[in-house]
Amino acid sequence: MIVEVTLGDVLNQVRKQLSSDELHVAVTPHDIYKSEEDQSSKNLTYRIILQHHSRTLTTNEVNDMIDGMSASIEKDFSATRI
């Protein structure tokens, strides 16, 4: 991930990608890590809660949502999902 990208930039993109009228989506920053040896990158960790208003989400549905969101983040911010 490009170091200049902020926690808020990614947070806004995550919320935008997961936004849905059918879901309660809660995204909170959890951790930022930047190695002293490698100042060219940083790790951002978020806690994501996805709840459908009327039913239980399947593992495949959640995985598809997270995969789509991750692909967008990777493209827009030169990030890597780990």
| pLDDT over 90 at 60, yes or no | yes
What pTM value is reported for the model?
0.82
pLDDT of residue 2: 60
| Phi (first) and psi of residue 4, to 5 degrees | -70, -20
d(CA 43, CA 34): 6
| Phi-psi category of residue 81: left, alpha or beta, with phi > 0 → left and psi -120 to 50 → alpha | beta
pLDDT digits (tens, 9 = 90+) for 1-52: 566 889 999 999 999 999 999 999 999 999 999 888 888 888 999 999 999 9
CB of 20 closer than 8 Å to CB of 54 = no
